Amino acid sequence: MKIDILTIFPDFFRGPLDYGIVRRAREMGLVEINIHDLRAFTKDRHRTVDDRPFGGGEGMVLKPEPIFGCLESLGDVASREARLSPGAKQSVILLSAQGRRFDQTLAAELSALDRIVLICGRYEGVDERISEHLADREVSIGDYVLSGGELGAAVIVDAITRLIPGAVGNQASTRQESFTESSAGQAELVVDGPSSTCVSGGLLDYPHYTRPADFRGMVVPEVLMNGNHDQIRNWRRKTALAKTLRNRPDLLERVVLTAEDEELLNQIKLDQIKLAQSTTD
Ligand code: SAM
């Protein structure tokens, strides 16, 4: 996969894309990331990238010329029309608080493309003609306003790179992670991995522990050390459901739960009622 990032702060990316899985994926040639300085595509001696908004109002707006010029200089980017057609393998994305919210489903969709261009806005945003005529989608990394698109671009690059086959040493581990929907859209148990693990099926991941088994009196749940794969898998599924119920109940409304999950959820709710009763007694 080839990723180009268009920004007025190219140095921003020194660091975030140079560690861990992204670094390894770059070194292995699984992903090629190029950073482009928008100021190199200005024509005046002050290298001006912004201007006041038509109609008045606060702040400055990123001008269209450097962004159009930079994208056109890349040469091998398909036309907007081609990128919007079904099965297209390229996308030009404008980072924007007003865009579709980035999530694991979109990360998986983007990780299957060959070519991605990320346009980072700054100031009050970019000239609207970028989203109308140049980008094929707008993406937000959350419902808050950042000072620029660079952090969002780094987030997107990280999330999609780890989904490229070969980027993560044990690819099966990405299937059990939080939010990852199984291909069947169900929370079924994984069949080709260790039998004590379960896919998240769109829920939050189950809790993980490592050595020491007793750290300052905080002990690892006994069930994880008894070697009984069925019991471990059952405990993991139950704790993943409990954590999702506690922290992200909205996810439970979106996934299709198995009969076993429903049974575990009932147990969790009963446990909660018993706990609440015991604390009021
Ligand atoms: N005036 C804009 C608004 O109210 O929606 C906010 C502009 S923001 C200060 C400047 C740039 O930061 C945006 O053009 C965009 O590229 C980036 N940005 C801000 N929040 C973002 C978010 N939640 N997700 C992705 N990019 C964001």
Does 233 score more than 70 pLDDT? yes
What confidence tier does 185 reach under pLDDT thresholds 50, 70, 90?
Answer: very low
Ligand 1 centroid, distance to 76 Cα (angstroms): 27
Does the residue 168 lie in any domain?
no
In the reported structure, the alpha carbon of residue 46 is separated from the centroid of ligand 1 by a whole-number distance in angstroms of 25
Measured distance CA(257)–CA(186) in Å, rounded: 7
The answer to whether residue 170 sits within a structural domain is no
Mean pLDDT of 239-266: 95
The residue-averaged pLDDT of 30-42 equals: 98
- Residue minimizing CA distance to atom 23 of ligand 1: 97
Cα–ligand 1 centroid distance for 51 (angstroms): 17
How much is the pLDDT for 110? Answer: 98
Closest-lying ligand 1 atom to the alpha carbon of residue 147: 9
Does residue 144 share a domain with residue 189? no
Q: Is the pTM of this model over 0.75?
A: yes
Q: How many domains does the chain have?
A: 2
Tell me the average pLDDT across 223-252: 96
Q: Closest residue (by CA) to atom 19 of ligand 1?
A: 146
Residue 205 shares a structural domain with residue 149: no
88 shares its domain with 147? yes
26 and 129 inside one domain: yes
CA distance 167 to 174: 10
Q: Which residue range(s) make up the domain with 197? A: 175-280
Query: Do residue 64 and residue 139 come from a single domain?
Result: yes
Per-residue pLDDT tens for 73-88?
Answer: 998 999 999 999 999 9
Indicate which residue's Cα is closest to atom 9 of ligand 1: 147
What is the pLDDT averaged over residues 121-130?
A: 98
Listed residues 119, 135, 161: the one ending a domain = 161
Do 61 and 138 share a domain, yes or no? yes
Pocket test for ligand 1, best of 61, 92, 95 (most atoms within 8 A of CB): 95
In a domain, 169, yes or no: no
* Average pLDDT value for the chain: 93
- Distance of CA 137 from the midpoint of ligand 1 (Å): 14
Percent of the chain predicted with pLDDT > 70? 94
Structural domain includes residue 166: no
Q: Could you tell me if 205 and 69 lie in one domain?
A: no
* pLDDT exceeds 80 at position 186: no
Check whether residue 149 and residue 187 sit in a common domain: no
Are residues 155 and 48 located together in one domain of the fold? yes
Answer yes or no: do 114 and 215 share one domain. Answer: no
- CATH of residue 205's domain is 1.10.1270.20
Q: 47: pLDDT confidence band, cut at 50, 70 and 90? A: very high
User: What spacing in Å lies between the alpha carbon of 98 and ligand 1's midpoint?
Assistant: 7
User: Which residues are near ligand 1 (CB < 6 Å)?
Assistant: 95-98, 120-122, 124-126, 140-142, 144-149, 152
Q: How confident is the model at residue 192 (pLDDT cuts 50, 70, 90)?
A: low
Q: Whose CA is nearest to atom 1 of ligand 1?
A: 124
